[in-house]
Structure 1
Amino acid sequence: MSLLIQLGDQLIPTLDDLRPRNSKVLVRVDFNSPVNDSGMLMDDSRIRAHLQTVRELVDEGNSVVLMSHQGRPGGRDFVSLSQHAKVLSRYLGVEVKFIEDVMGPYARQSIRSLGQGEVAMLENVRFASEELVESPPRQQANTFLVRYLSPLFNYYVNDAFATAHRSQPSVVGFPLVLPSAAGRLMESEVRALAKVLDRSLGPKVFVLGGAKVADTLKVIENLVRNRLADRILTGGLVGELFAVAKGVMLSIQSMEALERSGALALLPRARRILMSGAPIEVPMDYRVMAGGEVREEPLGRVSGLIMDIGSGTVEVYSSMIEDAGLTVIRGPMGVVELPQFREGTMAVLRAAMEGKGYTVIGGGHVAALSGLEPGASNSRVHVSTGAAAFLAFLSGEGLPALEALSQSAKGVRA
């Protein structure tokens, strides 16, 4: 029986469809993690997020080879994956052999010699220049990376949702030449995305904040166009822009902050969204910084620099979220880098996680404040591991990784 996940017009295969056993499996993971000035890992949560997929494949007697990137050429975080392999070994309880090569003779020989139940980690895939170029899947299937490595494997598994918006060889090339499926982490992400499209879940409340105003406007336009949102609750610079679009004058400091961010240039676009009938709510009050003092001020009489939503807004937003069938949160309500201005975002998170509906947290600052691990997923809450991929999906953009897996399920080959 097929267990393909329906996502719009795509059918995404999972490990339950592939059922690899005693085989060689190439797994694309996302171990890309923050490092310090010495190039040492500062956080291993992304490595831990893939443990379920790797353990399941090992338990079935498969030889598992992991492929990931780390940073970009020229960046401080563009380092080897040798330490990532050691961290994974510690959590997995199995030695993860580090292969100091990506696709050369040493890498290929190491893969051939890997025994059943053994795990290996290839070197940073971005050491191969082909991985830095984005092209359609058919072109990527013809790269040296795919042509050299694919004959060594029986299956390909993509467990790296954070790279799903990239059309790179390691992401979209292998599904067109090997039987492929989503790993368990990718599967949980896809199931969460499917809930966003599920019209039987309602009401749907989207909580959109932060400082990436242009990106968020694109999300709102897609939600309105496809009638996916019953309410859109705004905060951060996004909320301030929509307040101005509704004709409310903010303080001089706040208007200057909008100007500096480039958000005011988007005012005509925000007004068009409002005129389209978008169900957008703006804060009714704010926590502001004025003369070195923090105080609450109502919308329309703001005199200080806006730093967070106020208590009245928290109460109203929380009541809307508590009754939602689905709540999607992307972007904070205030300047969460400063602890005294996190309450609005924390209150929204509490309302969502304690409410009766399902909650999807779209990565970034909000995910960090949730107290949950990246990739955490249960019957009530999902925390995305890919803020950029999640944003692309909410914006109505296709995710090349999922399209490639869908094509693989249909038997499409390069």
Structure 2
Amino acid sequence: MDNSLLDLPTLKDLDITRRRVFMRVDINSPIDPETGKILDDRRIRVHAKYIKEIVDKYEPALVIGSHQGRPGERDFTTLEEHAELLSKYSGVQVKFVDDVMGPAARSAISELRPGEVLLLDNLRLVSEEVLEGAPEAQSMTVFVRRLSGLFDYYVNDAFATAHRSQPSIVGFPLVLPSAMGPLFEKEVIAAAKIFSSTSGPRIFILGGSKVHDLLRVIENLVRNRLADRILTTGLLAQLFLVAKGVRLGDENVRLLEEKNILTLIPRARLLLMKGAPIETPVDVKTHNEKDDAVENVSITKITGVIKDIGETTLEIYCELIKEASLIVMRGPAGVIEDSKFREGTLKILDAVYNSRAFVVIAGGHLGSMIDETKVNDRIHVSTGGNALLLLLSGEELPAIKALQMSKSIFHGGKR
């Protein structure tokens, strides 16, 4: 990552005071498939805070766009409840229109007054918003062409979607003066700290189910010497244990095979041979389905399905965390859907809260385990787990590229 990440245009580069602004956010939330109601509104609460700040400071006629789920899936629904929750948490009345770019939406946008807020319906009701493409092509979509003339500025405050290349993310910046919003900016600053940190120990705690992505992250961390220790948990830890020649038992190997993880063994072994600072568990908690027994066993005596890291591993990892100056945590340590296997994740989180390090926790399933009463200015909880993961793996994020292009077009490449 180069320094241009910190040189993206911000709200300070635009004069949005009492102007008409389209702001992309990400309030995509878990939905109860039975009731259609929102199960976890954390993202909505976070965005509500920044919407309130923007309205109080600039009084724009603020139109908000977001998606919810994907067409054909059970969480694909309207944003009416999202609007109610945004109003509740921001203290600002957020109007809702059950339209995206048709006559009702365009009329509501045109009639919006400074200081008022309007939420459009689920952007993925528009078929173009489901497709990905180059910014130049997305700027020519009917969606962008139909709405862009109604706005003075575009703001992207949806870092969680920064890895997508859809019209609402990469199309508008090419036709409107654009900037990242305050939440996006906060995410970028946190990511920049990860890349610029030189004092150690710099500890990465990586787990969860996205093993293919995590391996790319590790390869980039090792290549750029960004990590002093990489503490592995979950399926990622199992991959490296197998790469070390540890026998995990037929059930665990079968699971790795089903998830196409065994194909990654040569890459894992290469990292180990290069001396990558990768730590693996010395014991694990397993579950034997026959008698429903939970055991804490050494990795040399594994029987049953691995569900969490073990007690000795926890002690070792927590001791290492105490000394860290930078901590990045992604993914739970165990199968947190089962209360019997949450201890590893919760104890690691407690060690992280109590450390002296600057901490970045990369959202996702881990977000549901975070004790928000223990989060402070030293701890950044990212709303964009996948986007942050890809940024750490060295990939260029489409949203960032589009904002850089917009800066060149409308700001002459200068701040």
TM range (shorter): over 0.9
Runs of 4+ in 1 over 4 A off after TM superposition: 5-10
- Cα deviation code 1:148-204 (max 9, x no counterpart): 212211211111111110011100111122221111211111111111211334321
Is 2:166 aligned against 1:168? yes
- Is 1:145 paired with 2:121? no
Offset at 1:6? 7.4
Equivalent of residue 55 in structure 2, options 40, 55, 58 = 58
1:366 aligns to what? 366
Q: Aligned with 1:214: secondary structure?
A: helix
Measure the CA separation in 1 of the matches of 2:147 and 2:322: 50
Distance 1:164 1:183 in 2: 12
2:297 aligned partner, one-letter code: E
Determine whether 1:14 maps to 2:10: yes
Identity of aligned residues (%): 51
Q: How far apart, CA to CA, are the structure 1 residues paired with 2:9 and 2:253?
A: 48
Contact 1:287 1:297 in 2 (8 A): yes
Could you tell me how far apart the structure 1 residues matched to 2:2 and 2:172 are? 21
Instruction: Give SS of 1:318's match.
Output: helix
1:280-319 matches, cutoff 5 A: 280-290=278-288, 291-319=291-319
TM-fit CA distance, 1:48 = 1.4
**Following the alignment from structure 1 to structure 2, what is the Cα–Cα distance between the partners of residues 175 and 287?**
49
Residues 227-248 of structure 1, C-alpha deviation per residue, up to 9 Å, x if partnerless? 2111111111111121121122
Other-structure match for 2:68: 70
Q: Please state whether the residue corresponding to 1:262 is helix, strand or coil.
A: coil
In the TM superposition, 1:230-269 aligns within 5 A as: 230-269=228-267
* 3-state SS of 1:167 partner: coil
CA contact (8 A) 2:349 2:370 kept: yes
Partner SS state of residue 328, structure 2: strand
Write the distance in 2 (CA, Å) between the matches of 1:304 and 1:73.
Answer: 39
Distance between the aligned counterparts of 1:344 and 1:61, measured in 2? 46
What is the deviation of 1:8? 5.4
**Root mean square deviation, CA, Å:** 2.2
Residue in structure 2 matched with residue 270 of structure 1 by the alignment:
268
Q: Unaligned 5+ residue runs, structure 1? A: none
Scaled by the length of structure 2, the TM-score of the pair is 0.92
**What is the correspondence of 1:10-409 to structure 2 with a 5 Å cutoff?**
11-36=7-32, 37-59=34-56, 60-290=58-288, 291-372=291-372, 378-409=376-407
Contact 2:49 2:90 in 1 (8 A): no
Aligned partners of 1:383 and 1:7: how far apart in 2? 22
Residues 108-130 of structure 1 deviation map (CA, whole Å, 9 limit, x = unaligned): 22211111111111121111111
Residue type of the alignment partner of 2:267 = R
The 3-state SS of whatever aligns with 1:193 is helix
Q: Give the Cα separation in 2 of the matches to 1:257 and 1:182.
A: 41
Distance in 2 between residues matched to 1:354 and 1:7, nearest whole Å: 31
Partners of 2:11 and 2:36 lie apart in 1 by 34
* CA distance in structure 2 between the aligned counterparts of 1:13 and 1:86, rounded to whole angstroms: 31
- Deviation at residue 19 of structure 1 after TM alignment: 4.4
- Alignment size in residue pairs: 408
Do 2:67 and 2:123's aligned partners in 1 also have CA atoms closer than 8 Å? yes
What are the superposed Cα offsets for residues 352-398 of structure 1, whole Å, 9 maximum, x if unpaired?
A: 1211111111112222111239xx97421111112221221122211
| Residues 7 and 193, structure 1, Cα contact 8 Å, conserved in 2 | no
| 1:56 positional shift | 2.3
SS of 1:300's partner is coil
Offset, 1:97:
1.8
C-alpha distance in 2 between matches for 1:50 and 1:73: 24
Q: Deviations over 1:290-321 (max 9, x none)?
A: 45332222222223332211121111111111
Q: Quick one: distance in 1 between partners of 2:75 and 2:3?
A: 34
Question: CA offset at residue 257 of structure 1?
Answer: 3.0
1:233 and 1:51 mapped to 2: Cα distance?
34
- SS of the counterpart of 2:409? coil
What is the TM-score when the length of structure 1 is the normalising length?
0.92
AA matched with 2:89 = Y
Q: Is the partner of 2:71 in helix, strand or coil?
A: coil
Q: Residues 170 and 402 of structure 2 are in contact (CA less than 8 Å); yes or no, is this contact kept in structure 1?
A: yes
Deviations 1:266-304 (A, max 9, x none): 222211221222111111111223453322222222233
Supply the distance in 2 between the matched residues of 1:169 and 1:264 (Cα, whole angstroms): 37
Q: Distance in 2 between matches of 1:135 and 1:324?
A: 41
Pick closer, same or farther for the CA change 1:86–1:379 going to 2, 3 Å. Answer: closer
Matched AA of 2:346: M
Q: Is the 8 A contact 2:330 2:366 kept in 1?
A: yes
Matched letter for residue 146 of structure 1: V
**One-letter code aligned to 1:370:** I
User: Which consecutive residues of structure 2, in runs of 5 or more, have no partner in the other structure?
Assistant: none
- The verdict on how the C-alpha distance between 1:102 and 1:244 changes in structure 2, with shifts beyond 3 A counting, is same
